[in-house]
Amino acid sequence: MIETAVAEPRVLELLTAQIRRDLTVAMRSPGEMVNPLVFYLIGVTLFQFGVGAGPERLAAIATGVLWVLALLATLLALDGLFRRDYDDGTLEQLALHADPLFVGVLAKIVAHWLVTGLPLAIFAPLGALMLHLDAAAVPTLVLTLLLGTPVLSVIGAVGAALTVGLRRGAVLLALIVLPLYVPVLILGAGAVTARLDGIDPTPQIVWLAALLAFSLTLAPFAAAQGLRVGLE
Amino acid sequence: MTIGERIKAWWHRLGSPRWFYRVCRAWSPWLTAVGLVAIAVAFGWGLAFAPPDYQQGNSFRIMYLHVPTAILSESCYVLMGVAGLVLLVWRMKIADMVIAAAAPFGLAITGLALATGMFWGRPTWGTWWESDARTISVLVQFFLYFGVIALREAIPRAETAGRACAVLAVVGTVNVPIIKYSVDWWLTLHQPSTFTLTKAPAMPPSMYLPLIVSILGFYAFFAGNLLARVANVILARERGTQWVQSLVAGPPGGVMSCDGGREERA
């Protein structure tokens, strides 16, 4: 830990190099990359069938559906966050590296968000359109997703790290991570609902930003600790 | 010995399962007995002698069960979080055993708090379940307990499982302040805290005294029960050591029970 203070530029270098590597790997299998997004859109479609026609009825639940689907789509992609690197041994190399493990973990989280969370936020207006969400609330929806999905990736990384070595970890991962997602859901969906009700959504948005800052600074350490446990 | 040295010596002894086992066995029966007596007194007092509420009539009496279980469900999680931190920082084996012993108790007591809340909600709010900030965050805590237990079950090596659970327990403590302040932050149906440290309760003493006795009783029962569970976990985990084997073999001629602690994987 002492050397890290001296070698600060190298840490940044490691961070960017790791992000670039992860993005390259993701680009090589574009099918895998768009899977969560397609899941998101299929989910929206399913709700249209399940709830039935009637714009009012769909509009009433649109906020909740869009946010919950964002949670589930992120969750779906989480299993692959460390899996491939765990299987081929890259993760162990990262853990043995002289630089702190949390830097590598943070890089993986950032790359993960760029290929899953960001597209979800970008395509959310399409989902909002399909579910007849009031157009006035769409900017708030996109903003809360932009702030909220990184939190989902960061918290999810802790769960993914804890379950990385397990054969049937996917269900357990959902069990561990989803309860921790609740504050994000409350604030994110709360902001959109407030906007729909004509109330200023700033408090929820500021809280969401605070949650992002808080989780981004602490969760990578927890995830790194979890990975070390899993790599034993 | 200076106080600092004494604390250090005590801290080191705390790391010894054998010493801790003896402490558990010595304290557990007393704490459990005191707790059960206090709970019995509080229930008798609260159900039969406390005056009925001017708004809620007699239905408020479930408070004497609901409030202590709800408080305890949070305390139990905080205890797990602290134990998790101790395990991760000092690698103290006992801390892992405390988490293993506390999680099922926490799950049960949180379930009880939710159930009594539902029974209380039916006559007063007119609904079994209201998606209210407090009820949802307590339900989340219920799932968090479940996650800790499931994670331990899923990881074959006991030591690895313990440390993984410790990470999860520490991360999950984030939910505790959310539960605590949910009734103040959001405008909810759930009433604010019954007690605060700074203000006198808005109830007459004849109503809140039994509640205080009940809360203290539940804490004593929790401590006694937890120590008994930890003792069982110690026996199961340390079953390869000589002191456990000679303890279980017992004095010649007599058979000593070891309370059938759940078989832990080595």
Question: What's the mean pLDDT when you consider all of chain A?
Answer: 87
pLDDT band at B257 (very low <50, low <70, confident <90, very high): very low
Residue A231 CA to its chain's centroid (Å): 23
pLDDT band at B196 (very low <50, low <70, confident <90, very high): low
In this prediction, residue B260 carries a pLDDT of 44
Among chain B residues, the shortest Cα distance to A221 is held by: B167
pLDDT band at B101 (very low <50, low <70, confident <90, very high): very high
Is the CB of A7 inside 8 Å of chain B's CB atoms? no
**So where are chain A's domains?**
2-231
Q: In which element (H, E) is residue A81 found? A: helix A80-88
Neighbour tally for B245: CB within 10 Å:
11
Q: Where are the alpha helices (DSSP H) in chain B?
A: 3-14, 17-44, 63-90, 93-125, 133-154, 158-172, 175-185, 205-237, 242-249
Do the chains contact at A229 and B147, CB–CB below 8 Å? no
Do the chains contact at A222 and B146, CB–CB below 8 Å? no
pLDDT band at B189 (very low <50, low <70, confident <90, very high): low
Q: Which of residues 170-229 of A touch B (CB under 8 A)?
A: 172, 175-176, 178-180, 182-183, 186, 219, 222, 225-226, 229
pLDDT band at B264 (very low <50, low <70, confident <90, very high): very low
Is 50 exceeded by the pLDDT of residue B80?
yes
- Which residues sit opposite B53 in a β-bridge? B57
Q: Give whole-number Cα distances, B188 to B8, B127, B130, in Å.
A: 46, 14, 10
Q: What is the CA radius of gyration of chain A?
A: 18
Q: How far apart are CA B121 and CA B67, in angstroms?
A: 13
Least confident of A11-25, B60-74, B196-210: B196-210
Q: Give whole-number Cα distances, A14 to A10, A47, A106, A224, B197, in Å.
A: 6, 43, 11, 15, 50
Average pLDDT over residues A50-75: 89
Is 90 exceeded by the pLDDT of residue A69?
yes
Do the chains contact at B157 and A232, CB–CB below 8 Å? yes
The two structure tokens encoding residue B232: 């069982």
Which chain A residues touch B145 with a CB distance below 8 Å?
Answer: none
Identify the CA nearest to B43 among candidates B66, B27, B64.
B64
pLDDT band at A156 (very low <50, low <70, confident <90, very high): very high
Name the residue among A176, A219, A230 with its Cβ closest to that of B168: A176
Average pLDDT over residues A39-50: 90
Is 50 exceeded by the pLDDT of residue B265?
no
Q: How far apart are CA A210 and CA A216, in angstroms?
A: 10
Q: How far apart are CA B114 and CA B117, in angstroms?
A: 5
Average pLDDT over residues A38-55: 87
Q: Is A116 exposed, middle or buried (0-12, 13-18, 19+ CB in 10 A)?
A: buried
Q: How far apart are CA A112 and CA A90, in angstroms?
A: 16
Q: Is the interface score ipTM higher than 0.90? A: no
Is 90 exceeded by the pLDDT of residue A42?
yes
Is the CB of B216 inside 8 Å of chain A's CB atoms? no
Do the chains contact at A175 and B157, CB–CB below 8 Å? no
Q: Which of residues 57-76 of A touch B (CB under 8 A)?
A: none
Average pLDDT over residues B95-107: 93
Question: Could you please report the per-residue DSSP string of B95-153?
Answer: HHHHHHHHHHHHHHHHHHHHHHHHHHHHHHHS-S----HHHHHHHHHHHHHHHHHHHHH
Is 70 exceeded by the pLDDT of residue B91?
yes
